[in-house]
Structure 1
Amino acid sequence: MKKKILFICALSFYSVSWSQSSNAKSAEINAKVSELISKMTLEEKVGQMTQITVTIFEKQGAKGVFDIEKLKNGIQTHHIGSILNVPNPGAPTLQKWQETMNVISGEAIKTRLKIPVLYGIDAIHGASYTTGATLFPQQIGLAATFNTELVKRSAQISAYETRASSIPWVFSPDLDFPRNPAWSRMWESFGEDAYLSSQMAVALVDGFEGDNNVGSKYSVASCMKHYIGYGSTTTGKDRTPSIIPERLLRQYDLTIYQAAIKAGAKSVMVSSGEINGTPVHASKHLLTDILKNELGFSGVIVTDWKDIIYLHTRHKVAETQREAVRMAVMAGIDMSMVPEDYSFYTLLLDLVQKGEVPMSRIDDAVSRILKMKFELNLFQNTVANLKDYPKFGSAEHIEEAYKTAAESITLLKNDKSVLPLDKNEKILVTGATANSMKYLNGGWSYTWQGENSDTYAADKFTILEAFQNKLGEENVLYTKGADLEIEDDGEIQKAVDLAKNASKIVLCLGEKNYTETPGDISDLYMSKSQIKLALALAKLNKPIVLVLNEGRPRLISDFADHMSAVLQCYLPGNEGARALVDILYGDVNPSGRLPYNYPKYPNSLEKYNRKYTESISEGEQNDDAKYEKSYSPQFEFGTGLSYTTFKYSNLKIDKAEISSSDDVNVSVTVTNSGSKAGKETVLLYLSDNFATITPEFKSLKRFQKINLAPNESKTVTFTLNQKDLQFVNNDLKWVAEKGTFTIRVADLNQDFLLK
């Protein structure tokens, strides 16, 4: 007992000491910021708020080569505070990044106050704009792991390799909350659940920023995006309007940002869209009243590409670009990703000089930017010493990417235990996505749209190559079978003919590489060419293993019943093919789970936490059993099969009745009742059975991933607090109402009463 007391005392001492040290460091940085601002001219301040793309500094006709006069004009004449993007022609080497940053920092050191330039990049699944970097699954795949420690580790490695590239700022994590599965950036999100998204957001922020040690040479500043409502367009297409009541924004979207802010996220990028007719860049309510004042966000608010300009040219809420600048800065924007000219600088300078934007707003913005630069230690160190990064692209990092991919890949169907495959069988590998790295990595990989992954990741295995590596080329038959879009009966016939010589067929289907507007679609179904191939192969009556490589759930209901097994790979990154093939042959037991409902039909897009009225058919209003039958996604959120079986028992809660101040402690026993070791994600859902705002059918409140050997049992415990019982009412207040709640874990449930 004495040792326990001493440990608690020691822990308290170190906690207090760390807090005091953190406060002292913060006070020191604030003093430095104040001192520096007092020395700055208006021009220097406005320059700090200006972000320019690196490519405008290149020599004409010489891609990737700086025109020093152009760079001098940007840094010394216009005092720009930030640069983003990738020098031409593509993903530079570490040495090229070092050379680039040396040139930029060399110009910055020549300025009067020697303020370093803050460089930002879309390193969203690894240092994805550096040749040889370790690429992890895209964010939707990270969510599918339901493993926050694994996700945090991926961010730590990404930060390490991004800093090795001399870049201190990443435009990640993506905290968008997609409400339409057709949206082209769904794969950049954590899926359809706000709680899962918030937990993953914290994991990424902690990993990127080194658990609040962002000044380390192995950490980077994170940038939450895209605040707010960006993923909920009514059309399902990128950068189109959203209609979202504030009550829903607060109950779902805002909670994800709140969690990341609490974790210490240093910056936020603003949504390019509009909500209820107001572009977010023009909303003082969203940017200043809620984000800065209510949530206490003290970091930098940066725009997305050209979005202040778009207030005038696209949204049509500003009659001139000058008015657009005034509107955005007064709404709360701190930095403008202009990014291809100095219009923001010139116009804002004029606005301040004429008293239309107060100096107080400028000083607030600049203090936030300078604070982040000091926190990143940019005044001491801006260019990486490559000797400090011996693990860049190392076997250790690659192994982590492999493990993450392996835990993300989700087995959705396995009829008659067709999987694992037998290594002695001859198989046919076919399908449009079977033999290219583009479909494993997706967008934001080496280039914006990821079209050059086969070049930059030439040393990595495609799905076909991973099969050949495991079995030998003589045991793997291959033909493309189908193009992603173009129907080719000859290719289909080749696949059908080859399949006659195989025991089983591995059919790889999916989407092209894309992000943003180039990924917009008008049809959620899998492409006709691929459906035609699937149906032709199904006529052979051979077992077909469907492998999906896609950023969003493309509908497969036309042929899903003919598939013996279905695996969702999402966009698993450079090590995804190895992980997939190891799963298919049972060397790895699958453990991923769907982070969204996989819809069956284009007009049946209910989320797992649907309202009761969303799926009622005519005449079924009072029949719960029929109601359940009318709700039928292809696969539900949380679906994920294993090669072993898990049994749940002894669901217990410590109180049948609670007051408005009580927590609820929940325990459940999970047993591996099969013959293989496996990982199981225990999902705890809560239902508020009756409420003044129509309640959800169920809502995820906790999850935990555990590893169990055959016949092993573990008791998993969770604690629910009062916030878990609350919802946002029509007065925009979080409330919990008295009544009965139901806890659901697997096929077990328990009720308790809030008095």
Structure 2
Amino acid sequence: MNLQSFNIKATAQALALGMLCLSQTAFAQNAQDAQIEKLISQMTLQEKVGQMAQITLDVIGKGKDRYSSFEPLALDTAELNKAILKYHVGSVLNTANNRARTPQVWHELINQMQAVATKKARLKIPIIYGIDAIHGTTYTAGATFFPQQIGQAATFNRNLVREGAEIAAYETRASGIRWNFSPVLDLGADPRFSRQWEGYGEDPYLGTALGLEAVKGYQGQLGQNGEIDAKHVAACLKHFLAYSAPASGKDRTPAYMSEQMLREYHLPAFKAAIEAGAATIMINSGLINNIPTHANYQILTKLLKEELNFKGLVVSDWGDIENLYRRDHIAANDKEAIMLAVNAGIDMSMIAYQYEVFCDNLVALVKEGKVKQERIDDAVRRVLRTKQQLGLFKNAVEKQKDYPKFADKTFQQAAYNTAAESITLLKNQNGVLPLAKNKKVFVTGPNANSMRTLNGGWSYSWQGEKVEDFAGQYNTILEAIQNEVGKANVQYAAGVSYKMTGSYYEEFADKLEEAVAQAAQSDVIVVCVGENSYTEKPGDLNDLYLSDLQTTLVQRLAATGKPVVVVLNEGRPRVISRFEQSVPAIVQAYLPGNFGGDAIADILFGDVNPSGKLPYNYPRYPNSVSTYYHKPSEEQKKAEGMYNYEADYNPQYEFGTGLSYTTFKYSNLQLSKNKLKVGESLSVSVDVTNTGTREGKETVLLYLSDKVASITPDVKRLKGFDKISLKPNETRKLTFTLSPAEMAFIGLDLKPTVEAGDFEVQVADQKAVFVCE
């Protein structure tokens, strides 16, 4: 056989094998679809509507009412049977009494539910259990907690984000739970917003890149028909769309923006995650242009399901269908609210409590012709496919022994690594940091001796107020510093403390004068300030400045003349301009999780070289909150005759800021061509050299500026990044590819557009220009 004949035969065999694989895949998919369609054909209307209902665990827990449960937690058999056998409820979520449970308890509870659903119910359809496991398995005692997403974003490390999601998925499955309400893909462009810390920062490109890694980490390598294996979970993208952009900056309040802005800044992360196979999506609790998103047919059906071709499950947020009536006043009653939401495209209602209202009214609406049977079937099809994708029909019960690596040391090391790479050194005058280990250190501030503040909200409880009940084995910042240099070298006084009132807090002076006097006797002062834990409405605020008491504490400490290191432990950048100039060193720790204290101490004393970068602009004033990718008109120059120069674009620290204990030099920025046709890609390379004396990690950020466009362009946009580690005197060449998609903007026709003209590439202090023709 000659070579040509061999190649022809081999090609034919490969094609035949490929066709066989395709046909087998199609057959398997058709078989799965047929199974779902058969099941739908057998279901009564009541059974279908039940699959669209989701309730919180307290509803079926033993207790005096459905809003709380007795402890120790146990299921109420009568309520469980009512929910699953009479109302055919298809999903349960959350924990009971707002408190984490052990893996053993989770398995017992969920196995009881599945036993009723799969053995007693007529069609034996398993339930799907959902949880907010947003930086680890939030409601499982002993689970591995990573930094919150804002801290993960500061690592600019795709691998760490993906690894963290994989570990969270594993430990969620180890808890018997298969559906995770994460990641948050809301664009965190407003520091006033109480949930900014739940996302990946202000930049659309960064949020898209890291959101993709999170989805891949949660769901793993999907099977040929989209199956999610036993070590992974279904991801849930939150919160579609523009939830994080309310005009007031407060949670669940209206946003006002053009569709062009929606598509340019808020849509990319969701679009990419959907294309990557994200299984489910949760809807924005607020309003866009005066229309509640839960009732917005254009967004939920026309954009999400038709244009983006999302085939997965669309779930409401907590109680947000009834909010159409009770809060937003676009419905006259609950029944009308249900009609609006389901017709708009909601597939499952996170009812939480009054599931009978939802189920009974939706059945009536179908019978009255106000909700079409086809819409119900479409919603149920999506619910059942998600259950099928998770293998619930084959095996609804997890076995705890199948997850022996729960809380494994390798998982904990990964959480520490992420915390260490997230911490961002913002200021280091005169080389104050790293600290010498023979110095007398005074530690103070309300966040110095608190595990709650290190973790933030969604940590063992909704607001994080129960953290101290579960996290005693980990180190606070104070304890980690004591471990670093010995208790004899560390003195502590709070100065300012948080006073708890239920789930909320207020601040009070805690022997502030004594703390200042004691600080004056030390060699160096470490003051840990920021915020206590919060999320959602309880985190709304009226003043972005760091609190008056904490500001006073820092100012008094700075007046002692001792070197002051400020450690910021906060979910959003609280304004620090009232004391920033008076302190030589500032470290941003975000919400680093259970291993944050250890990581902070290692940064302070030089065991770890800091490498975090800000994933947002840190504002200088509460009324100056522009993103780094602002419009040119926001930069008012003195030569232009403007009078209030203080009102110029002036962040305290800009997106991408982050110092190291070594230094880096950029050189030799090169483009593959200086002219290219619209639609062509461009290769960009740059050399990075470690010019310091110790090994360090550097995040290389590539920005692109469209110099002239039919819509005023942003001054620059991130279009590429990579994180590298360099030894002293080591140089590495990095190469990026700018595709047409990276050069495009959303035009007036609401489509991605690349226009001819000049573009500028910037990497650190290196710049180059190319022309699109």
TM range (shorter): over 0.9
- 1:132 pairs with 117, 139, 142, which one? 142
Shift of 1:384: 2.1
Which residue identity does 1:397 align to in structure 2? F
| SS of aligned partner of 1:307 | coil
Aligned partner of 1:716 in structure 2 is: 734
- 1:585 pairs with 605, 620, 626, which one? 605
| SS of aligned partner of 1:59 | coil
CA contact (8 A) 1:209 1:220 kept: yes
- Cα gap change, 1:700/1:12 in structure 2, threshold over 3 Å: closer, same or farther? farther
Aligned partner of 1:177 in structure 2 is: 187
- Cα gap change, 1:23/1:436 in structure 2, threshold over 3 Å: closer, same or farther? farther
Q: Distance in 2 between matches of 1:87 and 1:489?
A: 35
Aligned partner of 1:262 in structure 2 is: 275
| SS of aligned partner of 2:129 | strand
CA contact (8 A) 2:558 2:582 kept: yes
Shift of 1:258: 0.4
CA contact (8 A) 2:452 2:465 kept: yes
- Cα gap change, 1:712/1:12 in structure 2, threshold over 3 Å: closer, same or farther? farther
- 2:303 pairs with 290, 302, 314, which one? 290
Q: Distance in 2 between matches of 1:578 and 1:13?
A: 57
1:53 aligns with 2:56: yes
Q: Distance in 2 between matches of 1:44 and 1:487?
A: 51
Aligned partner of 1:476 in structure 2 is: 490
Q: Distance in 1 between matches of 2:410 and 2:764?
A: 36
- Cα gap change, 1:88/1:488 in structure 2, threshold over 3 Å: closer, same or farther? closer
- Cα gap change, 1:437/1:488 in structure 2, threshold over 3 Å: closer, same or farther? closer
- 2:561 pairs with 541, 546, 549, which one? 541
Which residue identity does 2:373 align to in structure 1? M
Aligned partner of 2:96 in structure 1 is: 87
Q: Distance in 2 between matches of 1:493 and 1:397?
A: 42
Aligned partner of 1:678 in structure 2 is: 696
Aligned partner of 2:649 in structure 1 is: 631
Give CA-to-partner distance per residue, 1:1-36, whole Å, 9 cap, x none: x9xx9xx99999999998776655433322221121
| SS of aligned partner of 1:602 | coil
Q: Distance in 1 between matches of 2:460 and 2:756?
A: 53
Shift of 1:628: 12
Q: Distance in 1 between matches of 2:29 and 2:654?
A: 46
Shift of 1:621: 6.8
- Cα gap change, 1:631/1:22 in structure 2, threshold over 3 Å: closer, same or farther? farther
| SS of aligned partner of 1:324 | helix
1:220 aligns with 2:230: no
Which residue identity does 2:37 align to in structure 1? S
1:246 aligns with 2:271: no
- Cα gap change, 1:620/1:27 in structure 2, threshold over 3 Å: closer, same or farther? farther
CA contact (8 A) 1:101 1:382 kept: no
Gapped regions of structure 1 (runs ≥ 5): none
Give CA-to-partner distance per residue, 1:214-237, whole Å, 9 cap, x none: 531110000001101110001111
CA contact (8 A) 2:426 2:658 kept: yes
| SS of aligned partner of 1:66 | coil
Aligned partner of 1:696 in structure 2 is: 714
Aligned partner of 1:337 in structure 2 is: 350
Shift of 1:455: 1.3
Q: Distance in 1 between matches of 2:746 and 2:508?
A: 53
Aligned partner of 1:663 in structure 2 is: 681
Alpha-carbon RMSD across the aligned residues, in angstroms, is: 2.2
1:606 aligns with 2:626: yes
Aligned partner of 1:501 in structure 2 is: 521
Aligned partner of 1:194 in structure 2 is: 204
CA contact (8 A) 1:234 1:242 kept: yes
Shift of 1:382: 2.5
Q: How does 1:269-284 map to 2 (within 5 A)?
A: 269-284=282-297
1:751 aligns with 2:769: yes
- Cα gap change, 1:15/1:197 in structure 2, threshold over 3 Å: closer, same or farther? farther
Give CA-to-partner distance per residue, 1:424-445, whole Å, 9 cap, x none: 1110010000001000001010
| SS of aligned partner of 2:651 | coil
Q: Distance in 1 between matches of 2:133 and 2:700?
A: 31
CA contact (8 A) 2:195 2:244 kept: yes
Which residue identity does 2:76 align to in structure 1? D
Give CA-to-partner distance per residue, 1:90-117, whole Å, 9 cap, x none: 2111110011011101110210110000
Q: Distance in 2 between matches of 1:300 and 1:416?
A: 55
CA contact (8 A) 2:508 2:549 kept: yes
1:387 aligns with 2:405: no
Output the TM-score relative to the length of structure 2. Answer: 0.94
Give CA-to-partner distance per residue, 1:147-200, whole Å, 9 cap, x none: 011100000000000000000000000011133211100000111100000001
Gapped regions of structure 2 (runs ≥ 5): 65-69, 499-504
Give CA-to-partner distance per residue, 1:244-263, whole Å, 9 cap, x none: 11000011111110011011
Q: Distance in 2 between matches of 1:180 and 1:470?
A: 36
1:373 aligns with 2:393: no
Aligned partner of 1:71 in structure 2 is: 80
Which residue identity does 1:236 align to in structure 2? G
Give CA-to-partner distance per residue, 1:125-147, whole Å, 9 cap, x none: 00110000000000101111100
Q: Distance in 1 between matches of 2:564 and 2:24?
A: 60
Aligned partner of 1:146 in structure 2 is: 156
Which residue identity does 1:548 align to in structure 2? L
- Cα gap change, 1:39/1:621 in structure 2, threshold over 3 Å: closer, same or farther? farther
CA contact (8 A) 2:509 2:549 kept: no
Q: Distance in 2 between matches of 1:124 and 1:24?
A: 36
Which residue identity does 1:591 align to in structure 2? S
- 2:33 pairs with 30, 34, 38, which one? 30
Which residue identity does 1:470 align to in structure 2? E
Q: Distance in 2 between matches of 1:392 and 1:456?
A: 16
Aligned partner of 2:502 in structure 1 is: none
Aligned partner of 2:67 in structure 1 is: none
Shift of 1:410: 0.6
| SS of aligned partner of 2:142 | coil
- Cα gap change, 1:219/1:503 in structure 2, threshold over 3 Å: closer, same or farther? same
| SS of aligned partner of 1:537 | helix
Q: Distance in 2 between matches of 1:695 and 1:410?
A: 29
Q: Distance in 2 between matches of 1:577 and 1:437?
A: 8
Shift of 1:486: 6.2
Which residue identity does 2:552 align to in structure 1? K
- Cα gap change, 1:365/1:89 in structure 2, threshold over 3 Å: closer, same or farther? closer
Shift of 1:512: 1.2
Give CA-to-partner distance per residue, 1:674-702, whole Å, 9 cap, x none: 11111101000000001111111000000
- Cα gap change, 1:79/1:557 in structure 2, threshold over 3 Å: closer, same or farther? same
Q: Distance in 2 between matches of 1:27 and 1:196?
A: 37
CA contact (8 A) 1:29 1:375 kept: no
Shift of 1:606: 1.1
Shift of 1:581: 0.5
- Cα gap change, 1:741/1:220 in structure 2, threshold over 3 Å: closer, same or farther? same
- Cα gap change, 1:482/1:236 in structure 2, threshold over 3 Å: closer, same or farther? same
| SS of aligned partner of 1:65 | coil
Q: Distance in 2 between matches of 1:97 and 1:306?
A: 24
Q: Distance in 1 between matches of 2:255 and 2:291?
A: 10
- Cα gap change, 1:293/1:677 in structure 2, threshold over 3 Å: closer, same or farther? same
| SS of aligned partner of 2:74 | strand
- Cα gap change, 1:306/1:148 in structure 2, threshold over 3 Å: closer, same or farther? same
Which deviates further from its counterpart, 721-730 or 137-146? 721-730
- Cα gap change, 1:232/1:18 in structure 2, threshold over 3 Å: closer, same or farther? farther
| SS of aligned partner of 2:172 | helix
Q: Distance in 1 between matches of 2:668 and 2:38?
A: 62
- 1:97 pairs with 103, 106, 123, which one? 106
Which deviates further from its counterpart, 726-735 or 310-319? 726-735
CA contact (8 A) 1:179 1:233 kept: no
1:736 aligns with 2:754: yes
Q: Distance in 1 between matches of 2:419 and 2:103?
A: 25
Which residue identity does 2:663 align to in structure 1? T
- Cα gap change, 1:313/1:450 in structure 2, threshold over 3 Å: closer, same or farther? same
CA contact (8 A) 2:176 2:400 kept: no
